[in-house]
A and B are shown apart, each in its own frame.
Chain A
């Protein structure tokens, strides 16, 4: 049975009285320990699906189930312990006036998991797990590089030892060399902890590297679903997928 099931999901935003139908009947299932990718241009609704799972987008139709159970209307602590999200921009997603220690300690405090020396031990361990030295514990985000910040964001998401990570463009703000390190880190953590990934990216090469299956989205709809082997073998049906594939591999045709 899939761990994450999305059935005919609709999300409609209200923009100054005008309804914006951002997700239009998308269904997908993610198996336990699978890496599932969502690809598409901005405005295609891919990030909105992740936000809908977290209760951050107005769902107007369909159902989301985790482990077979429909999600509660308000996402509770049990949900947070199971599902965590890593956001795109590590410059915007960490509180600028909280130290790394405070950012990582917050989930422990909210869930009453650890205090005092146990709290400190878990924070240092979380930093070590993402390849950061304990010296980073009392720094502020502005004292970290982009790659270090994204490591802190990943460490924060893992504090509650969730089963599912929702990754919203986790490396698109990073340099190529730093992106490689972050992707390697995610792959290692996934293998070590048996995590399930639902990952959004506009970069097909990143999705190809990380994911077992993927869905291509356009204007709120699922255009096509592919396995990793089909993508690697260019075995795609929809013209739009082909276009996206060409845009990734060629980047620009006008160069000649």
Chain B
């Protein structure tokens, strides 16, 4: 079942040198699945994720023929209605817990802020719900974490706290922007397992934005490959290693492999035609 259909999305930034198109007319849909979006920095993958929540600030501008989410056209509704969807039905996990959590607010206060202000919950009920959410992302000793400040947590814990925060309202669609890039491989696997369980058990849709092709190939169902604001290839994740587009191939080939040749790694020769 399709959760979100995006048609002809464009994101333009007005700059001194004229308009710059960060995303140039892409269309895709997300169901109750794990959709990977890969590409290098500057390819427009993060912008695409933010555009779904209309989180692009001026001078950036979002245009789309349609962005249908559960019958609602996100490209048309007023800001007030958009605000009601954000967090509650569509949530986003940002890349780096160091920069995305409020450094001078205890974790508990950040986790319960939405519950108390938006849902009017009592402090006690909100705290109980926050504890439950921390347990769901397998944080040991959640009581201690609630009273901690972000700098007192490791990167992996911080990332799990952010995921917990996004999951409290049980969104239908989660946009995760490099949720594991700041983490070790071992912690990474744990965070992925949590996200995976949410997709399978709650039927949530997941847009998983990453620059790590191996990771996306293992974790997602379907992958969109972006290059300079365009989707150059769409491929089933388990067939990513057989991708045909020269850009995707180039990205795959420049990764070192255990037991691979020791000579210089192939680098990516970019072709202007890919961006057409």
Residues of A within 8 A of B (CB): 41-43, 145-146, 175-181, 183-184, 187-188, 202-206, 208-210, 231-233, 243-245, 247-255
Contacts and interface: CB of A to CB of B under 8 A. Distances in A.
A179 B193 contact: no
A209 B254 contact: no
A252 B238 CA distance: 13
Given A176-B251, A177-B268, A208-B258, A253 B189 contact: yes
B36 to A, nearest CB: 11
A25 B221 CA distance: 45
B258 A252 contact: no
A244 B186 contact: yes
A245 B251 CA distance: 22
B242 interface: no
B118 interface: no
A248 B258 CA distance: 9
A175 B260 contact: no
Contact of B254 (A43, A177, A210): A177
A206 B268 contact: no
A233 B269 CA distance: 31
A223 B264 CA distance: 30
B37 to A, nearest CB: 14
A41 B189 contact: no
A247 B189 contact: yes
Given A232-B259, A251-B214, A187 B264 contact: yes
B222 to A, nearest CB: 13
B2 interface: no
Interface of B: 40-41, 154-155, 184-189, 192-193, 196, 211-215, 218-219, 250-251, 254-260, 262, 264-268
Query: Chain B: interface secondary structure?
Result: loop
Contact of B258 (A187, A231, A253): A231
A248 B154 CA distance: 21
A206 B102 CA distance: 34
B219 A252 contact: yes
A154 B196 CA distance: 39
Given A41-B185, A244-B185, A252-B192, 11 more contacts: A42-B155, A146-B41, A177-B268, A180-B265, A180-B266, A205-B260, A209-B260, A243-B186, A251-B192, A251-B215, A252-B193
B250 A232 contact: no
Contacts of B267: 177, 180-181, 184
Contact of B189 (A233, A245, A254): A254
A176 B254 contact: yes
A212 B201 CA distance: 45
A253 B219 CA distance: 9
22 contacts: A146-B41, A175-B40, A176-B212, A176-B213, A177-B254, A180-B256, A184-B265, A205-B255, A205-B257, A206-B256, A209-B257, A244-B186, A249-B258, A251-B185, A251-B189, A251-B192, A252-B188, A252-B192, A252-B219, A253-B189, A255-B192, A255-B196
